[in-house]
């Protein structure tokens, strides 16, 4: 039985898959190779880059016009800035894959003596030149994980590939594809030998084009899930298909991991006659988030980088102001954390859930509140009681907690989310929407009560001293009402965090009911 792939390149006989070369413009790639161009293929982690490169290698070698070799240079990352050690690893890996793929031992016989005589700063160029000249067919080189290299090691590889460029195709690879998370033009690294910062664009200015591998389309998601239905008879309901697309937005690892969790673990794995439902996929989503699988853990680890946090913090805070640069935004997009198209927002609902949870794990554990306090005898969640308790908690503890966990601009919103998450973990869930420039953070609390599912909107706005309280509340009431109507929620709550340090808590804390222009009643909470 084939399965959904959650690690490594896809293997058609083992995994459900979208044929990798159908996910790129193959005609464009062929044209670049025929034109003897060096180019870049980049995309976030676990998007399918390696699968594309391996499929391209197999295709070109089967056609016989070129000799194509794939090499993963990630192993050289441990050499850091030891150029000789890094180039030794790159050449060793390349020679091994040339033998495995083509049965060609020549590079393995060439590179040790070249490295010994020429040293790491020219050995790659010399070895590639001698190997290419010994071959009758033009060589195509596919270099994976290029951005795993750092400093002088990365600089040495890029400059040696550039130095041999004029010799192609008779004395150097006809075409080189560099593959990584980011476009080579966006590399900024420190060269210890030159004691300066070097850009990838200057070190590799022979790049003709940059291709980006995108996420699955909605049709591709349906096709992938359809393979499981065809082979096992276990289909996905329309609600389940929509849930996979909505929650993942086509991010390949998320699609596969979510479907695997739903179909190959638990009740569905033991009963192929039962179709996968929306509830099954939402349960699988929660399991992935709680388990903090490697893909999600690696992603949230990036939050420690200042340039990532400069983009993410105002996003979480619903701020209309920002401190980030265009380069920061492009970097975070390349990581896959935010969507490719404006406005700036989280790439998909699962990432939007993972990021604030990751930031508030410790805060959730430290909260003294018992979820049972806010559930009545019928099993209903008492939202008014819950928010009132948070209002008290925030007034007493906000300064201490935001300092304790390093929350700054997004502190109030994250503390509220930690509080809500702690409570609803006993049976519900919190859905989040973030978009930069919206001036708010939208939360939807979903609480099952028997056969019924109750929904409550909680919207957060921040009042700064330059905005009047009445204007903040009036705008927020209309926004909350619109979100409440869109979500078909039974109640809407607007929380206004007053960040004016000159106002007293007695002035900041209040509760009142407002009616929006649509007639929707909104409960307003001041904090």
Three state DSSP letters for 250-277: CCHHHHHHHHHHHHHCCHHHHCCCCCEC
R_g (Cα) of the chain, nearest Å: 27
Is 86 buried (19+), middle (13-18) or exposed (0-12) by CB count in 10 A? buried
Residues pairing with 274 in the sheet? none
Q: What is the pLDDT of residue 319?
A: 77
Q: What is the sign of the dihedral through the CA atoms of 481, 483, 486 and 488?
A: negative
CA 83-84-86 angle, 5° bins: 65
**What are the φ and ψ backbone dihedral angles of 378, each rounded to 5 degrees?**
-85, -5
Give domain 218-291's CATH number out of 1.10.8, 1.20.272, 1.10.3470, 3.90.550.
1.10.8
CATH of domain 19-212: 3.40.50.300
Nearest to 332 by CA among 186, 144, 200, 198: 186
Instruction: Give the integer Cα–Cα distance in Å for 468 and 221.
Output: 47
> Which residues neighbour 159 within 8 Å (Cβ) at sequence distance 6 or greater?
203, 204
pLDDT digits (tens, 9 = 90+) for 402-430: 777 677 788 899 999 989 998 888 788 89
* Dihedral-angle region of residue 157 (phi above 0 means left; psi in -120 to 50 means alpha; beta otherwise): alpha
**Distance between CA 119 and CA 472 in Å, rounded?**
66
Encode 352-366: b = buried (16+ Cβ within 10 Å), e = exposed.
bbbbbbbbbeebbee
Strands 139-144 and 67-72: parallel
Domain residue ranges of the chain, discontinuous segments joined by +: 19-212, 218-291, 320-526
pTM for the model stands at: 0.89
Asked whether 408 and 309 are in contact (CB, 8 A), the reply is: no
- Give the span between the Cα atoms of 421 and 74, in whole angstroms: 38
> What pLDDT is attached to residue 293?
84
What was the pLDDT predicted at 437? 64
Question: 443 phi and psi, to 5 degrees?
Answer: -125, 140
**Which pLDDT belongs to residue 436?**
67
94 vs 161: CA distance, rounded Å:
14
Which of helix, strand or coil describes residue 67? strand
SS3 (DSSP) at 404: helix
pLDDT of residue 93: 98
Closest CA relative to residue 496, chosen from 461, 464, 457: 461
Q: Residue-wise over 393-430: b if at least 16 C-beta within 10 A, else e?
A: bbeeebeebbeebebebbbbbbbbbbbbbbbbeeebbb
List CB contacts of 317: < 8 A, sequence separation 6 or more.
409, 410, 413, 441, 462
Block means of pLDDT (10 residues each) for the chain, 527 residues, are 95 97 98 98 96 98 98 97 97 98 97 96 98 96 96 96 97 98 86 81 91 97 98 97 98 98 93 96 92 86 91 85 88 94 92 89 79 90 95 88 74 90 85 77 92 94 81 94 95 93 90 97 97
At a CB cut-off of 8 Å and minimum separation 6, what does 5 contact?
A: 11, 14, 15, 16, 17, 256
Of 174, 95, 191, the residue nearest 139 (C-alpha): 174
Closest-CA residue to 81 (of 149, 144, 178): 149
């Amino acid at each position: 039985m084939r399965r959904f792939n959650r690690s490594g390149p896809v293997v058609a006989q083992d995994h459900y898959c979208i044929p990798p070369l159908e996910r790129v413009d193959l005609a464009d790639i062929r044209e670049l190779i025929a034109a003897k161009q060096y180019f870049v293929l980049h995309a976030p982690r676990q998007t399918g880059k390696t699968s594309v490169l391996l499929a391209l290698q197999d295709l070109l070698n089967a056609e016989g016009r070129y000799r194509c070799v794939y090499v993963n240079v990630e192993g050289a990352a441990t050499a850091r800035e030891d150029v000789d050690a890094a180039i030794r690893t790159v050449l060793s890996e390349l020679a091994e894959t040339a033998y495995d793929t083509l049965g060609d031992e020549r590079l393995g016989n060439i590179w040790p003596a070249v490295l010994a005589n020429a040293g790491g700063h020219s050995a790659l160029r010399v070895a590639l030149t001698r190997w290419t000249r010994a071959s009758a067919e033009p060589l195509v080189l596919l270099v994976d994980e290029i951005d795993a290299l750092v400093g002088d090691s990365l600089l040495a590889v890029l400059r040696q590939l550039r130095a041999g460029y004029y010799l192609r195709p008779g004395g150097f690879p006809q075409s080189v594809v560099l593959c990584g998370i980011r476009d080579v033009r966006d590399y900024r690294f420190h060269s210890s030998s030159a004691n300066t910062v070097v850009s990838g664009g200057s070190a590799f200015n022979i790049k003709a084009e940059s291709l980006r591998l995108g996420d699955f389309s909605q049709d591709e998601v349906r096709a992938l899930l359809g393979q499981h239905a065809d082979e096992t008879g276990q289909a996905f309901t329309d609600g389940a298909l929509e849930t996979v697309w909505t929650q993942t937005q086509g991010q390949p690892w998320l699609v596969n991991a979510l479907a695997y969790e739903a179909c190959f673990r638990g009740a569905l794995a033991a009963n192929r006659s039962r179709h996968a439902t929306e509830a099954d996929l939402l349960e699988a989503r929660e399991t992935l988030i709680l388990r903090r699988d490697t893909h999600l853990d690696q992603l949230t680890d990036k939050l420690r980088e200042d340039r990532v946090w400069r983009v993410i913090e105002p996003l979480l805070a619903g701020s209309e102001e920002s401190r980030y640069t265009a380069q920061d935004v492009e970097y975070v997009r390349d990581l896959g954390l935010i969507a490719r198209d404006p406005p700036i927002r989280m790439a998909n609902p699962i990432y939007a859930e993972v990021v604030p949870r990751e930031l508030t794990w410790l805060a959730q554990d430290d909260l003294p509140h018992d979820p049972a306090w806010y559930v009545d005898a019928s099993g209903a969640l008492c939202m008014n009681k819950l928010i009132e308790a948070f209002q008290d908690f925030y007034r007493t503890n906000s300064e201490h907690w935001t300092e304790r966990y390093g929350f700054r601009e997004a502190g109030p919103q994250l503390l509220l989310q930690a509080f809500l998450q702690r409570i609803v973990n006993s049976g519900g869930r919190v859905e989040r929407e973030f978009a930069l420039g919206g001036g708010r953070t939208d939360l939807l609390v979903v609480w099952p009560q028997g056969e019924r599912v109750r929904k409550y909107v909680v919207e957060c706005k921040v009042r700064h001293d330059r905005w009047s309280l009445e204007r903040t509340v009036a705008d927020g009431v209309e926004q909350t009402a619109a979100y409440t109507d869109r979500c078909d929620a039974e109640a809407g709550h607007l929380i206004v965090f007053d960040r004016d340090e000159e106002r007293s808590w007695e002035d900041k804390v209040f509760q009142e009911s407002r009616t929006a222009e649509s007639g929707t009643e909104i409960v307003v909470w001041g904090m």
